[in-house]
Amino acid sequence: MLSDRFGRKWPLVVNLLLCAAFELGSSFVQTFNQFLATRCLFGIAMGGIWGLASSTALENLPAEARGFGSGVVQLGYACGNMIAAIVNLKLVTETGQWHVLFWTAAGISGAAAGLRAVLPESETFLKARAKEKAQGGNRQSRKAKIFARETWAMLKNHWSLCIYAVLLLTGAFLYSLLVLLLICTEGYNFLSHGSQDLYPTYLQTSKNFDSDHASIATIIAECGAIACVLPLFCHYSPLQYFSTVGAPLAAFSRSTLAVVSQYFGRCLVMIIFNVLIGVFIPLWIIPSSFSALSSGAFCVQFGVQGTWGVIPIYLTELARRPGSGRHSWA
């Protein structure tokens, strides 16, 4: 909401700097309670980044390119997860210092804040602000009243879409007027984090793999499943395979799926890939070999992140009024 009032640029910069500060603080804590406190604060700061970033990126694109842009935006999630796994695999293992993971994260967040600070403000926001000034001046009190009035109008006129947008990311779909609710128990946030966050722990505790293999499996999973069979037959190690083949294919797949949604519809693409996830769940958890499990994770993440590639543009399109309330929706 602050970005709709003050612009996309500086709220995002502040969010990123807060993330960097809390990440750095997490590396110096001495007790578990202190660690929980810093991670909770980090989560609050992190929550504002996705909406700011997606609204900034997508609202300035032409309509025909927004499907592709949505896929590119969402690539950042998988890339960040892969970078964390690589740092854990290499730097943490070599130095024996878990703090390195948080130092790296703080450095990346700080660098991103600096980059955003030197880039220009969103053109769409600037046009909306110029139009507002032309219509009635720029007094702060009047701006606050306009912002409050527009926010209330958005909630009043589009309350059902607001509820739908929230339910979409926490666990429910509305498929038909003839059916009261068709609830999908795996909401997209739960689907994403539930399939990723504890999977390395599952590999170590239930399948008896070491932390290095768990990190490699995470890296492979984040590549997506376009060539999920290739790791079983290529002559590279899993990490070499990821570096040379998997990452480009995964990047291509995410953006391609978002482009497909441009022509066949957002909901249809999301439904298809949710079904695909269910098909590959047995391969994801049942085998005992590393190759089979990593291939299963590869396939599941193809479905998860393929679906998520459509989410940014889908939520942006739910915000029917350009330039007003878009970040609040996201």
pLDDT tens sequence across 56-85: 887 788 877 777 777 777 777 777 878 888
Closest CA to 5 of 169, 209, 147: 147
Binned at pLDDT 50, 70 and 90, residue 114 comes out as very high
C-alpha 93/C-alpha 153 separation (Å) is: 54
Residue whose entry in the numeric block shows the structure tokens 């996309």 = 8
Residue 250 confidence (pLDDT) above 60: no
User: Among the listed ranges 128-137, 142-151, 217-226, 229-238, which one has the minimum average pLDDT value?
Assistant: 229-238
C-alpha to C-alpha distances, 269 to 166, 183, 299, nearest whole angstrom = 20, 18, 16
pTM (2 decimals)? 0.64
Average pLDDT over residues 110-128: 87
- Which one of 1.25.40, 1.20.1250, 3.30.70, 1.10.260 gives the CATH number of domain 2-329? 1.20.1250
What are the residue boundaries of the structural domains of the chain, listed by start?
2-329
How many angstroms separate the Cα of 157 from the Cα of each of 161, 175, 318?
A: 9, 21, 13
For the cut 70, the answer to whether the pLDDT of residue 173 exceeds it is no
**How many H-runs (helices) and E-runs (strands) does the chain carry?**
19, 0
| DSSP run (H or E) holding 238 | helix 238-241
Q: What is the pLDDT of residues 279-321, one digit of tens each?
A: 989 999 999 899 889 888 888 888 887 777 777 777 667 655 4
β-pair partners for 173: 182
Which token pair is 41? 């604060």
Q: Do 269 and 261 touch, CB atoms closer than 8 A?
A: yes
- Highest mean predicted confidence (pLDDT) among 99-113, 119-133, 185-199, 255-269: 99-113
Q: Given CA atoms 127, 132, 133, 139 in this order, what sign does their dihedral have? A: negative
Burial call 103-116: b when 16+ CB within 10 Å, e when fewer: bbbbebbbebbeeb
